[in-house]
Amino acid sequence: MLQNHKERRPRGRPPVRSDEETLHLIVEAAAQEFQANGFAGTSVDAVARRAGVSSRTLYRLVPTKAALFSKVISEHIDQFITAIEDTGLDALALDASLERILISYGILTLGRDAILMLQLVVSERGRFPELASTFYTDAMQRTGNVLEQWLRHQQELGRITLEDPALASGMLRGMITMEPQRGVLLGQRTYPEIDEIRMRARMCARLFLDGCRTKG
């Protein structure tokens, strides 16, 4: 005679999620809420519900909505910096190295999430000027510094010659992002696909380096 055995469940409490994992869920939820409802229309309680955590837990990890917005921006930029560090730039030729950086930068700045956040900052900067300050410092300056450092390193190696690497960094970033980004913001085109970003990166790298590459 066969006996029915009930499946035994393991005793004890379920595994506890770390604060780092919880914060990542909160930041992802906040990004979605900000994009959907704007800064003013986003409530911390709504972010907590979307993340599946209590408001008390959210406030413990991120004390204010402004700090939450800063976390969203910083995590987005951290992904760009990590992508740059993981590409092994030092092992690549000059052209290929710059092309990789510009592809990563194009993916960062021309994607839907990035453009929606930029649109949010511009539309709400009158009521919330701290958002513009956060975006400028945590996004624009951080990415600019990454490219500036790379340019300075190439200049130290004698591969390129530049009067002002910081100024050149801004010019180079504008080359790859300005036209398609503005086109999307003005509703005149769709978000660029990855093939277009790669093509722009390749052209921008060649045009830029042809103007500053050390001769001979």
- pLDDT recorded at residue 89: 84
Helices 44-51 and 19-37: crossing angle in degrees, nearest 10, is: 120
116 with 159, same domain: the answer is yes
32 with 126, same domain: the answer is no
**Is the residue at 10 inside a domain?**
no
Global pTM? 0.85
- Residue 6 reports pLDDT greater than 50: no
Range of the domain at 185: 70-212
Domain of residue 29, CATH code: 1.10.10.60
- In Å, how far are 112, 166, 170, 172 from 157, measured between CA atoms? 37, 17, 21, 20
35 with 138, same domain: the answer is no
Cα separation of the two ends of the chain: 90
| DSSP calls for 192-209 | PPHHHHHHHHHHHHHHHH
Q: Which residues pair with 213 in a beta bridge?
A: 160
Q: How is residue 122 written in tokens?
A: 């511009």
44 with 74, same domain: the answer is no
76 with 182, same domain: the answer is yes
d(CA 142, CA 120): 19
Q: How is residue 65 written in tokens?
A: 């909505």
> What are the b/e assignments for 102-118, b being 16+ CB within 10 Å?
bbbbbbbbbbeebbbbb
**Is the residue at 2 inside a domain?**
no
Q: Find, among 114, 103, 124, the residue nearest to 31 by Cα.
A: 114
What is the per-residue pLDDT across 148-179, written as a single tens digit (0 to 9) for each?
Answer: 999 999 999 999 999 999 999 999 999 999 99
Sign of CA dihedral 123, 127, 132, 135: negative
106 with 146, same domain: the answer is yes
107 with 92, same domain: the answer is yes
116 with 198, same domain: the answer is yes
Domain of residue 114, CATH code: 1.10.357.10
What is the per-residue pLDDT across 52-100, written as a single tens digit (0 to 9) for each?
Answer: 999 999 999 999 999 999 999 999 899 888 888 766 788 889 999 999 9
184 with 131, same domain: the answer is yes
Boundary (domain end) residue, out of 8, 42, 63: 63
**Is the residue at 1 inside a domain?**
no
- pLDDT recorded at residue 5: 45
Q: ∠ at Cα 207 (213, 111), nearest 5°?
A: 125
Q: How is residue 42 written in tokens?
A: 């986003």
**Is the residue at 89 inside a domain?**
yes
- Residue 197 reports pLDDT greater than 50: yes
91 with 35, same domain: the answer is no
Boundary (domain end) residue, out of 27, 47, 63: 63
148 with 113, same domain: the answer is yes
**Is the residue at 161 inside a domain?**
yes
| SS3 assignment, position 26 | helix
- pLDDT recorded at residue 39: 94
- pLDDT recorded at residue 199: 97
- pLDDT recorded at residue 8: 53
Q: Find, among 132, 135, 128, the residue nearest to 42 by Cα.
A: 128
Q: How many domains does the chain have?
A: 2
Helices 112-124 and 65-85: crossing angle in degrees, nearest 10, is: 140
77 with 175, same domain: the answer is yes
Mean pLDDT of the region 34-59:
95
